[in-house]
Amino acid sequence: MSNSPDAPRPGRRERLALVVIAALLAAVVLWLRGGLQPQAPLEALARRSPELPVALADGRPTLVEFYADWCEACRTMAPAMENVESGYRGRLDVVLLNVDNPRWQPELERFAVNGIPQLELFDRRGDSVGRSIGARSQPELLALAEALVSDQPLPPLPGVGAVSPLAGIESGVEAAGTMAGPRSHG
């Protein structure tokens, strides 16, 4: 070993190898998590969502979406939901509830969520005015939002209708117990 300034110091190759390995691992992790793209629209919307009780009490109509990160229809619908949320901000509350989060189990039962995406629609008094089952296009979501904001009847879309309680069943728990859950399909 020499003491000349040009001679490599002991451990330099090892440090270089560790830096290269760390860079490769970081690249793999970024690739697995979807790269450096911004948050997925569903996640971003869910993070901005007001709490459901707050939304239902603040004097604005509310659109609630029951979704899951793995749901292809939910992911496809997400950019349109984001457009509705931003276009109607301050006039309409958009609330996203992930069916995989145990925190929302009471709401899953309360609204008899049996598939996703499921939209629950509320007027400015917080009263339920309807439900939408299945994926919606941006024009359909805009029509629903406009009906809610202008306090008009819901548009006549397939899979959209008023919700009525079943006679003799308190809070829908018995009926919900016999149905498949929203996570029962892949």
Name the amino acid, one letter, at 166: L
Q: What CA–CA distance (Å, rounded) separates 132 from 139?
A: 14
User: Which residues are known to be catalytic?
Assistant: 71, 74
Looking up tokens 């090892």, which residue turns up? 14
Helices (H) and strands (E) in the chain, counts: 7, 5
Q: What is the mean pLDDT of the segment spanning 116-121?
A: 97
Give pLDDT tens digits for 37-70: 445 678 888 888 999 999 999 999 999 999 999 9
**pTM for the full model?**
0.69
Residue 172 makes CB contacts below 8 A (sequence gap 6+) with: 109, 110, 111, 112, 165, 166
Ranges 59-63, 75-79, 163-167, most confident: 59-63
The reported pLDDT for the residue numbered 124 is: 97
CA distances from 122 to 5, 28, 186 (A): 75, 44, 29
Higher pLDDT, 157 or 2: 157
Domains observed in the chain = 41-177 (3.40.30.10)
The reported pLDDT for the residue numbered 167 is: 43
> Is the confidence at residue 85, as pLDDT, over 50?
yes
Number of C-alpha atoms within 13 angstroms, CB side, residue 29?
6
Q: What CA–CA distance (Å, rounded) separates 31 from 77?
A: 24
Give pLDDT tens digits for 120-130: 999 999 999 99
Largest CA distance in the chain: 92
Q: What CA–CA distance (Å, rounded) separates 92 from 90?
A: 6
Number of C-alpha atoms within 13 angstroms, CB side, residue 21?
6
